[in-house]
Amino acid sequence: MVSETEIYLKLKKELPKKGWILIGGEPPDGTNSMPRIELKDSLNISKGSKGSKKIDLVFFKGGFFLLLELKEEYDYSDVKKLNEIVQDEKWRKAFIIALKEKKALELKNISIDQQNYIHSNNLLIKAIAYSEGTAKHDDFVTFVVDKFGTNLHFGSSISENIKQLF
């Protein structure tokens, strides 16, 4: 089995070769020089990370954000978290706020119309990566990473437009 750290390092290296711009994320061991993207629950007014959501890797290409969760073994909790972020306007807004707070787009000279991303989920791509397990989710891009390489799978509702980005 390939570790979460190995999956992280492999995708962090491979996706930019396909034109994806690394925006930030939450490294498995918590140490890295990139911006940590932490979405804060607007209803939680206490200090700290309670109720927040962190995305393992965030990339940008062609107007789309790739939200990527990583695990050694397939874990439905990642699917649930990404569904909540993408389907709920509150979490999409929290995502944009987190990017602004960290100046994550500014650091990469990327300019977007924030309202497009808050009011619509069409520009956010949900993706999971793991080493072991099987999952079929119609609206997810899935990376299966093993010691031999990376296999990419598209859910049945992933558009050709999005597939072309990979």
Residues 6+ apart with CB under 8 A from 27: 8, 34, 56
Our measurement of the distance from residue 29's CA atom to the centroid of its chain's CA atoms, rounded to an integer in Å, reads 17
d(CA 22, CA 66): 9
What's residue 49's pLDDT? 60
> Could you identify the residue written with the tokens 């079929």?
136
What's residue 28's pLDDT? 76
pLDDT in tens, the chain (166 residues): 899 999 999 999 999 999 999 999 887 766 567 788 889 887 665 555 667 899 999 999 999 999 999 999 999 999 999 999 999 999 999 999 999 999 999 999 999 999 999 999 999 999 999 998 887 899 999 999 998 899 999 999 999 999 999 9
What's residue 119's pLDDT? 97
d(CA 63, CA 109): 13
d(CA 72, CA 6): 9
What's residue 51's pLDDT? 73
> Could you identify the residue written with the tokens 């140490």?
31
What's residue 14's pLDDT? 95
For the entire predicted model, the pTM comes to 0.92
Q: If you write DSSP's letter for every residue of the chain in order, what string do you get? A: ---HHHHHHHHHHHHHHTTPEEEEE--TTS--SSPP-EEPPTT--SSSSTT-EE-SEEEEETTEEEEEEE-SB--HHHHHHHHHHHH-HHHHHHHHHHHHHTTTTGGGT----HHHHHH-STTEEEEEEESB-----TTEEEEEEETTEEEEEE-TT--HHHHTT-
Nearest Cα residue to 65 out of 101, 91, 96: 96
Residues 6+ apart with CB under 8 A from 137: 79, 126, 128, 155
98: alpha, beta or left, given left = phi > 0 and alpha = psi -120 to 50? alpha
